[in-house]
Amino acid sequence: MPELPEVETFKRYLDTTSLKQVITKVKINDNRVLNSNDNFFKKSIINKQFESTSRHGKHLFVYLKPKFLIMHFGMTGDLEYYSKNDEEPKYSKVIFQFENGFNLAYTSLRMFGRLEVAETIEDFVEKKKLGPDAFKMSLDEFQGALRHRTAIAKNALLNQSIIAGIGNLYSDEILFRTKLHPKSKLDDLEEEKVKELFVNIKDVLRFGIEKEGDLSVYPKNFIIPHRKKEEHCPICNKELNYLDISGRRSFFCPNCQKDSRQSV
């Protein structure tokens, strides 16, 4: 599922392929991905340009002057820039056709992604109740987001209203780096552990962005390449465990990430 590093990669891809080009047509193959009326969606985009982009969490914002096209990629969303002479990409849901003869396709195998048009980024972030962006946030913002929270660590990292941008995969890596059990209580963490968690969020996301979300190039000392049954911890070689937390499978090392609730 595209998380913050993947969406940042999509942003950079769109920037290098599709900015400042006049959009002559919008082809909607499946309007179930739209959170806007078809006609309003097209009218907001046709004869405009993608002026610039920004990202907040897992959402990509494309400035149309004066409105914003908002892309959320769900579990399988992607972008593909291609010539009009090429075959339309598989699973294309919406296609933006440019004056220069190229197209940008929003593709998705499944239907969890969404496209819509909004007046401002700020209104959208407030409406969706999104927390601070996980990669851009300051330590003060992070501490403020956690203040008075009693959630367990795994749920807190996944909760987009607390911190925006982290999903199941990267949350496992962040907790592994911080040596935190997925069910550690946030309000039990000491200040130094909170700071360590903050640093590891930034480091893990930065690495993901540098690798453009390509999980196949992750080194063996990360937990990400080992997230499956009967795999072993890359640090201590103990067998990894997993928990199903809020419908997500969380992998962790029971030795490196001890459950402090059971230590007396």
Q: Give me the CATH number covering residue 227.
A: 1.10.8.50
Q: Say which CATH number the domain at 28 has.
A: 3.20.190.10
* 171 and 243 together in one domain: yes
- Assess whether 73 and 161 both reside in one domain: no
Residues 65, 19: one domain?
Answer: yes
Kindly state whether residues 212 and 246 are assigned to the same domain. yes
Q: Are residues 155 and 116 in the same domain?
A: no
Clarify whether residues 146 and 85 are in a common domain: no
Last residue of a domain, one of 76, 100, 128: 128
Whether residue 248 is found in the same domain as residue 147: yes
| 65 and 85 in a common domain | yes
Flag whether 93 is in a domain: yes
Average pLDDT over residues 249-254: 97
pLDDT per residue over 59-72, tens digit each? 999 999 999 999 99
Count of domains in the chain?
2
Q: Is 134 part of a structural domain of the chain?
A: no
Average of pLDDT values for 131-144?
96
Same domain, 38 and 77: yes
What are the angstrom distances between the C-alpha of 121 and each of 13, 42, 93, 136, 156? Answer: 20, 19, 23, 15, 23
In the predicted model, is pLDDT for residue 217 greater than 80? yes
The Cα 126–Cα 124 span in angstroms is 5
CA pair distance 140, 155, nearest whole angstrom: 20
CA 63 from centre of chain: 19
pLDDT at 191: 93
What local confidence, expressed as pLDDT, does residue 71 receive?
Answer: 98
State pLDDT tens for residues 111-122. Answer: 889 999 999 999
Parallel, antiparallel, or unpaired for β 52-56 and 102-107? Answer: unpaired
With pLDDT > 70 as the criterion, what percentage of the chain qualifies?
98
Evaluate if residue 97 carries a pLDDT over 80: yes
Within 10 angstroms of residue 257's Cβ, the number of other Cβ atoms is 25
Please compute the mean of the pLDDT values over residues 50-62 and round it to a whole number.
Answer: 98
In a domain, 65, yes or no: yes
pLDDT tens-digit series, residues 149-203: 889 999 999 999 999 999 999 999 999 999 999 999 988 899 999 999 999 999 9
pLDDT of residue 161: 96
Residue 195 falls inside a structural domain:
yes
In this structure, are 157 and 103 located in the same domain? no
Q: Which of 74, 109, 128 is the last residue of a domain?
A: 128
**Band (1; pLDDT cuts 50, 70, 90):** confident
Domain assignment of residue 10, given as a range:
4-128
pLDDT at 261: 63
Least confident stretch, 28-32, 135-139, 214-218: 214-218
pLDDT, the chain, mean: 95
Q: How distant is the alpha carbon of residue 200 from its chain centre?
A: 16
> Of the candidates 128, 158, 179, which is a domain's last residue?
128
Q: Is residue 198 part of a domain?
A: yes
133 in any annotated domain: no
Q: Which of 89-93, 145-149, 251-255, 258-262 has the lowest mean pLDDT?
A: 258-262
Q: Is the pLDDT of residue 148 over 90?
A: no
Mean pLDDT for the stretch of residues 78-93: 97
Identify whether residues 148 and 95 lie together within a single domain: no
Same domain, 156 and 114: no
